[in-house]
Structure 1
Amino acid sequence: MPHADPAAPSESATVAAARRGRVTIVTGADDGYAPLAAELIASVRAHRALDGIDLSLISTGMSPAVLERMRPTVENVADGSWNIDAAGRRAGDRHWLMARVNKLYTRDYFPGYDTYIWIDADAWVCDPTAIDWLLAGVARSGLAVGYDDMPTSPIGVDIRSHLGGWFLGRTYCMKHARRAGLSATETRRLARVRPFNNGVFALAGDSPHWPVIQANMSRLVRKGRIFGSNQMAIVMAVHLDGLPVSIMPHACNYLDVPRVCAETGAFVEAEIPHHRVGVLHLASRDAMRADPAVEMDLLDTEGRTVRRSLRFRPDYLAQG
């Protein structure tokens, strides 16, 4: 069963732990996502608390010119590939799906690190405490990841029909398990499981999770969709294979609409007591991901309207 959320470690303790081992933050991008990846990289570099953590980039189809612009901003660069042949065959020309496979193989691309933290290119680090929590989770369990849904939402029931007063529904995990052809026993065990979102997750370099997650992914993509299978591979490792996990707080992979702190200008969680957002993830915000000029109306912690983009801008980091 998943462990409880790790207690927030002191900054000095976790920074010291990071210095005792080699840590890399990894992302992947093609030309379309390269501007977002550049913003993620800039957001990491903006935090002195993250000095000493390497940045690694997997090219999932960047043109030579774009890749050469990105190369000086990171310590490591690798060309992505279809680590699972079946995934490559099923993807066809949808190369943007490559990162969903690559993120489960970061140790193979960049060997020698003690901790690997994957962050999707359409996310950025608002508060370095989120990285501290991920490191603490990895130290405890070997795997640190958060849930895919909002803190107050159910497990994602998809209502298919209504018959005689009975709702017939499929959860996210049930749907993917059936599509991938998992056994009836496995599907039942996963039916009420909350899915993880591995847009942000971390693994220890010596974690036993790596081959299990990769084997699960290989099994899933034979029949199931690549999209979602990368998350299900981790779900299966925890709930079917029994490997440990530290569940990260929502702030480590914030998918909701944030508020803005009226005092510091930092992005904070919408829910009281408005803790700082650690990693802000722009999943499903297509217009904003495509155009950094796109903004939206947000509320600050005093209830006033603030017009902002959710993409990284240096002046959005907390002052003081």
Structure 2
Amino acid sequence: MKKNVIVSLADSNYFELLNELIDSIKSFEKSKDIAICILDAGLSNEQRTILSKKVDEIKSAEWDIEVPAFKVKGKEWLKSQVSRAFLPKYFPDYQKFLWIDCDAWVGDWNAIELYFKACENGKLGITQTFTPGYKDMSKVNWIFGQIAIIKSQNFKHAIKSKIGIDKARKLAFAPHINIGAFSLEKDSVGWITWQKNLEETLKSGNIFGSEQLAINMSVYINHLETEFLPHNCNWLVSNLLPKFNEKERKFVEPYLPNHNIGIIHLASGIWDGDKDMRVHKEIKIDIKTIENKTLSKSLRFGR
């Protein structure tokens, strides 16, 4: 019986991305020791059939915390904002869980091993959203003189979710944590802490982003013990483009020593005009190589 599992979720619109994520995982020999499980938030029967031949289990995602119907408005994929905080309920036979968003893919297996190592002893394994080369960590609107309105992602979501000004201030300039990849053990207290915060953020705030705010609260307010992994374990390409190592055929960090990128995450998309690479797989962009050349490449797996 496999003890460790990688879990993701998609609806029919993101099926191709999910399929590519699974293929990227299975491209590594060591993946044979890891289970792959999928939460279905609106896949077609045909898509489920295709996936069932590649993965260990598929379960239908649920609204594990009650959400008003007017907030959902037919967007069943928003279940990802809730159900990922309840993974042991869906897949109780596994001991260590690694979540990867379906708009991400695995480029180096070392990241997978780090996530499973990071969550030992009940800790949360996760990545903060910053790395050398980031130029803006938080945004402010300057009114006059030294007075400004804070526009950081954590603070904005905290205020909208009405979790209280004291909590919002604690989160205002804390390094943002992206929930697109994380690891937790089955019996970690982290699940309960996260779920309680998620119940609070869902009361007044938007569904989208609620789970991310809740995990930031768990780390920075409730002091959930956390193993912070390097940014190449969840590289947000919309914030900083990678470089490409032609010899190794791998995407790497853009600055020395150019470590391999373990998980490439297309969150927020890569845009060519009004077309998003996540939807339009033919889109390519200019990527610099470590050999000081420029290539026209896609950032999707296998392209």
What residue in structure 2 maps to residue 46 of structure 1? Answer: 27
Change (3 A) 1:237 1:308: same
Change (3 A) 1:154 1:226: farther
1:153 aligns with 2:131: no
Q: Distance in 1 between matches of 2:80 and 2:49?
A: 19
What residue in structure 2 maps to residue 80 of structure 1? Answer: 61
What residue in structure 1 maps to residue 96 of structure 2? Answer: 115
Paired residues of 2:85 and 2:195 also in contact (CA < 8 A): yes
1:285 aligns with 2:269: yes
Q: Residues 261-283 of structure 1, C-alpha deviation per residue, up to 9 Å, x if partnerless? A: 13212111111110000000111
Change (3 A) 1:28 1:104: same
Q: Residues 83-131 of structure 1, C-alpha deviation per residue, up to 9 Å, x if partnerless? A: 1112655222122211121211111111121101000001000000001
Worse-superposed segment, 28-37 or 255-264? 255-264
Equivalent position amino acid for 1:295 in 2: K
Q: Distance in 1 between matches of 2:129 and 2:63?
A: 25
Equivalent position amino acid for 1:290 in 2: V
Equivalent position amino acid for 1:274 in 2: N
SS in 2 for 1:144: strand
Q: Distance in 1 between matches of 2:281 and 2:256?
A: 28
Paired residues of 2:39 and 2:58 also in contact (CA < 8 A): yes
SS in 1 for 2:92: coil
What residue in structure 2 maps to residue 222 of structure 1? Answer: 203
1:309 aligns with 2:293: no
TM-score (norm 1): 0.87
Change (3 A) 1:282 1:74: same
Matches within 5 A, 1:109-188: 109-139=90-120, 141-153=122-134, 156-164=137-145, 166-188=147-169
Q: How many pairs are equivalent?
A: 295
TM-score (norm 2): 0.92
Identity of aligned residues (%): 29
Structure 1 residue runs without a partner (length 5+): 1-18
* RMSD over equivalenced CA pairs, Å: 1.8
Equivalent position amino acid for 1:174 in 2: F
- Give the deviation of 1:165 after TM superposition: 5.1
Q: Distance in 2 between matches of 1:52 and 1:223?
A: 42
SS in 2 for 1:83: coil
What residue in structure 1 maps to residue 213 of structure 2? Answer: 232
Change (3 A) 1:166 1:184: closer
- Give the deviation of 1:134 after TM superposition: 0.6
What residue in structure 1 maps to residue 257 of structure 2? Answer: 273
Change (3 A) 1:174 1:80: same
- Give the deviation of 1:168 after TM superposition: 3.0
Paired residues of 1:146 and 1:248 also in contact (CA < 8 A): yes
- Give the deviation of 1:188 after TM superposition: 2.1
Runs of 4+ in 1 over 6 A off after TM superposition: none
Structure 2 residue runs without a partner (length 5+): 271-275
SS in 1 for 2:98: strand
Paired residues of 1:140 and 1:246 also in contact (CA < 8 A): no
Paired residues of 2:138 and 2:173 also in contact (CA < 8 A): no
1:257 aligns with 2:238: no
Equivalent position amino acid for 2:178 in 1: N
- Give the deviation of 1:155 after TM superposition: 7.2
